[in-house]
A and B are shown apart, each in its own frame.
Chain A
């Protein structure tokens, strides 16, 4: 019997070494089975299409560029985190607090950043995603409170870790709601900005979210499982009706690629014909939507 055990040890080690060999040999075609099985799709796809949602960090950076100062009144109070009971509400709030964290980080407000990071962690714990935010991320966050670039990187990483954890643990509906909450808060910021300053650039910024809105409506339809999802979808559809009043056009222009710098300049143009009255209606609708969810 003993000789069989030695045989099995040899067999196990052989499998390990074969895998390494295949990976390192560029001439061989790999067909190794990886940890994710073919029938496990981590991302929520709709007819094999995944929708990428703009990062809250990107939208808050745009706000910062408009040279408006930090406004705590824009943010959702961290002490309200206790008010949310259902998984639906907690997921939306995790997204909202995530965007608030990005906003604080962009404005280098370290005290508020740590408050919002802590609240995000609590919300993730409540959603049984306590392992989503790794210990190393938490440690790096507390060590980099005075470094804006690091805080923004860590805020982005926190979003990725939560998104990945929820999707890998078959909570794709919750992951979609976290994205929705983050985007709704971003649109709330842009809408508030538009009502204070009706410049064309602010109108365009909000108009350019027309496609993202359509992606969310499709995504919620795909992952939705109860009336709360259908209610959110209905409110987004009302916004879509308003967005249809903004004519859009697209012109294809060939891109210009520089292989040395590994860069392509995308020259194609899309345009949005905005008018202030419609954009003001859209802004008010976004503000109502965000305020509907906060308690």
Chain B
């Protein structure tokens, strides 16, 4: 009887917590899908999943090539509020081409590319808003207007 009591205790405490947190991570993709389709823009995902667990002061880097004649949309999410993440776009010499920190941590931004270049996207949680947790980023593209 005592064993049943402890099993019940464990289930009661951890099962709801586990279900809640799982749902939260899984919802990031849907949030980003909504951002990609915002303004009725016809962006297509680059086909890769960039999902992380970010700790405090932890930064992740995505190295990518932006091809000329395309418009790219970078979108980020780390929860229901849309300003948890900071991302910078750097060139191959690490010059900052853009930082969403200068635009209230905007969850997405578009980039018109006139000449093919190698870029690095640096992403991290804003420590003033969230200390750690799931984060997801999408790179989408469309032909330039």
Contact = CB atoms under 8 A, between A and B. Distances in A.
Interface of A: 1, 4-5, 8-9, 11-13, 15-16, 19, 23-24, 26, 29-38, 40-43, 45, 48-58, 61-62, 65, 149, 152-153, 156-157, 159-160, 163-164, 167, 179, 182, 204, 208-209, 211-212, 215, 250, 252, 255, 257, 259, 261-270
A136 B66 CA distance: 31
Contacts of B59: 48
Interface-central residue, A37, A52, A153, by most chain B CB under 10 Å = A52
Interface-central residue, A32, A40, A45, A259, by most chain B CB under 10 Å = A32
B57 interface: no
Interface-central residue, B5, B70, B115, by most chain A CB under 10 Å = B115
Contacts, number: 223
Contact of B97 (A38, A65, A262, A264): A264
A159 B51 contact: no
Given A16-B20, A43-B50, A58-B70, 10 more contacts: A30-B130, A36-B25, A40-B53, A43-B60, A48-B59, A54-B46, A61-B143, A163-B49, A212-B65, A263-B109
Which 7 A/B pairs are nearest by Cβ-Cβ distance? A159-B47, A52-B64, A164-B49, A34-B134, A8-B12, A31-B131, A30-B130
Given A4-B5, A37-B53, A52-B62, A269 B115 contact: yes
Interface of A is mostly: mixed
Contacts of A16: 16-17, 20
Interface in B105-138: 106, 108-120, 127-134
Contacts of B48: 52-53, 159-160, 163, 179
Given A16-B20, A38-B55, A257-B98, A30 B84 contact: yes
B105 to A, nearest CB: 11
Given A31-B130, A52-B64, A268 B91 contact: yes
A152 B44 CA distance: 7
A48 B61 contact: yes
A30 B92 CA distance: 33
B63 A266 contact: no
B80 A35 contact: no
A50 B141 CA distance: 18
Nearest to A149: B42
